[in-house]
Amino acid sequence: NAGVTQTPKFQVLKTGQSMTLQCAQDMNHNSMYWYRQDPGMGLRLIYYSASEGTTDKGEVPNGYNVSRLNKREFSLRLESAAPSQTSVYFCASSAYGEDEQFFGPGTRLTVL
């Protein structure tokens, strides 16, 4: 089992560029999540998907879009990157919303 995988591991963008972060899990989990982690601010939820076909906004959704492609995959898109989106992005999954979450290794994104 690979668990939760994320691609890419590192990315540098220029302001205004777009990109998609990919996430996949092989644990047959229903719920999937995207977080950003900034120094001193813990993890902030961007979007989550409680089940295939549903997505909901989290605490900091502005500037992002998501797609729950199927039960395994949950992608995060930045349409027009801004320096304020420089962060480490984590994808996570859980069997259900109340269960422990399993995290991917993260994507370090820098927007110049």
Partner 1 sequence: AQSVTQLGSHVSVSEGALVLLRCNYSSSVPPYLFWYVQYPNQGLQLLLKYTSAATLVKGINGFEAEFKKSETSFHLTKPSAHMSDAAEYFCAVSDRSKSTFGDGTTLTVKP
CB 16 to partner 1: min, Å = 28
Q: Are 6 and 106 spatial neighbours (Cβ–Cβ below 8 Å)?
A: yes
Site for partner 1 in 51-80 (CB under 8 A): 56, 58
Closest to partner 1 by CB, 84 vs 96, is 96
The binder of partner 1 chosen from 78, 90, 93, 109 (CB under 8 A): 90
Q: Which lies closer to partner 1 via its Cβ, residue 31 or residue 85? A: 31
**SS3 sequence, 66-110?**
EEECCCCEEEEEECCCCHHHCEEEEEEEECCCCCCCEECCCEEEE
